[in-house]
Chains A and B, each alone.
Chain A
Amino acid sequence: MQELVVISGKGGTGKTSLTASFAVLAGNAVVADCDVDAADLHLILAPSVTMRHEFFSGREAIIREEACNGCGVCSSVCRFDAVRVGGGAAGAPGFTIDPLSCEGCGVCVRFCPEGAIEFPVRLCGEWMVSETRCGPMVHARLGAAAENSGKLVSTVRREARRIAEESHRPLVIVDGPPGIGCPVIASVTGSTLVLVVTEPTVSGEHDLDRVLSLTRHFQIPTAVCVNKWDLNAEMAGRIEESARRAGARVAGRVRYDRAVTLAQMQERTAVETGAPSTVDIRMVWKNLGMQEGSSPALTPARNRQIMASYD
């Protein structure tokens, strides 16, 4: 079973739009939306949720107001500046814990002389299994300001792989997060192929460099694709050259296409609307070594219609 992870380094390069098109072209893949901070893939693939699961990660410290005597030991041991003045028993000044700052280490819990601090597991969000017109999809929603652990990303990937194995689907496509930190690491380790989607800008070039260092560090085969390449053809060429030098292969380039945004507003992928960039997207898909499957979203009749519109 193959696992293609699509990441971008820099945000806003078009990775999610492209991933959605890939899901349609694949026809028989399991899709995993691992961009858990700001998951957008569902806006195009319109999933119907079949299962929801609460997601717990780590713990948080909560001071029982009535038991707090205001001694302040918690404040003196907390390394994360999470203890605030407030609360307290019967009007006497006490302390409370700021959940945004608390890292769930348990030190205050252990050292509170009154045993006044609870230490429950923390509900951070939820993950869902859904059906889409492209097949099964696993996605998640991290709670506002929740801790950004890779556990949710790992959970989504694990479920997607399990579904692929059980339903005998050969491919998992992962929409990954931006950046190079914790959630990105969790989304790429152990995958068979990473595609980095970038744009022809100095930011795109700079951020691509750092992402490629990351995939090299984890020794994962990597391909690169410049999206909106015609905004700056010279820069696009330079980026492709430096990608090759960094050991990645160039999977192709996709033109700037307003029709992609229009498709997004209609909850459609570019390839379903016959947007001009479709031919570029299909070329990238082919260059990645992928087949086009038969997808309910892209019937032969619709396909003929789209091909005809190229002429």
Chain B
Amino acid sequence: MKIVFTASADTIQAPLDGRFGRAPKFLVYDLEDDTFEMASNQESLDAAQGAGIHSAEVVARTGAKALVTGHCGPKAFRALAAAGIKVFSTDAPTVADALQRYRAGDLTEIASADVEGHRA
């Protein structure tokens, strides 16, 4: 299964980006063979509006079934839910840290958006 982490750099040690909709990159981790690849989220950063929704589209295209991030707004959450992607929220500082917590079963799945929406 693939799991996506919001990241601001290209390695496992990358800081986990706190906000889903405007995260610059996604680290797509394959739990079966322990490899990962990066997906750019530049299109969302450039989007005039709907950055969260577009980010959800990018994540859906990776084939991932779960997302780990800091915060996720209501529109993004709705889009992720429609795509069948589970969302986990954490304050882990790096992707590696978040991955460890996920494997240990320490992350809580969020049932609805945990922050108010942003206009853009």
Q: Which residues of A contact B (CB under 8 A)?
A: 56-58, 149-151, 153-154, 158, 182-183, 185-186, 189-190, 218-220
Contact = CB atoms under 8 A, between A and B. Distances in A.
Nearest to A147: B48
A182 B116 contact: no
B48 A151 contact: yes
A58 B48 contact: yes
6 contacts: A149-B120, A151-B49, A154-B119, A186-B118, A190-B115, A220-B116
Contact of B117 (A57, A58, A153, A189): A189
A190 B116 contact: yes
A224 B116 CA distance: 22
A56 B116 contact: no
B119 A189 contact: yes
Contacts of B119: 150, 153-154, 182-183, 185-186, 189
A218 B115 CA distance: 10
B54 interface: no
Contacts of B22: 158
A58 B117 CA distance: 20
Contact of B120 (A56, A154, A220): A154
B21 to A, nearest CB: 10
A194 B33 CA distance: 48
Contacts of B120: 149-151, 153-154, 186
Nearest to A183: B119
Contact of B118 (A57, A149, A154, A219): A154
A219 B49 CA distance: 22
A189 B48 contact: no
A234 B33 CA distance: 72
Nearest to A151: B120
Contacts of B116: 189-190, 218-220
B118 A189 contact: yes
B46 interface: yes
Nearest to A152: B120
A151 to B, nearest CB: 4
A182 B120 CA distance: 9
From A153, A183, A186, A190, residue with most partner B Cβ within 10 Å = A190
Contacts of A57: 48
Q: Which 8 interchain pairs have the tightest Cβ spacing? A: A150-B119, A186-B119, A151-B120, A150-B120, A154-B120, A57-B48, A185-B119, A58-B48
Interface string B62-79: 000000000000000000
A219 to B, nearest CB: 6
A56 B46 CA distance: 8
A150 B46 contact: no
From A158, A183, A219, residue with most partner B Cβ within 10 Å = A158
Contacts of A154: 118-120
A145 B116 CA distance: 29
A158 B22 CA distance: 9
Given A149-B48, A150-B120, A151-B120, 15 more contacts: A149-B49, A150-B118, A150-B119, A151-B49, A154-B119, A154-B120, A158-B22, A183-B119, A186-B120, A189-B116, A189-B117, A190-B116, A190-B118, A218-B116, A220-B116
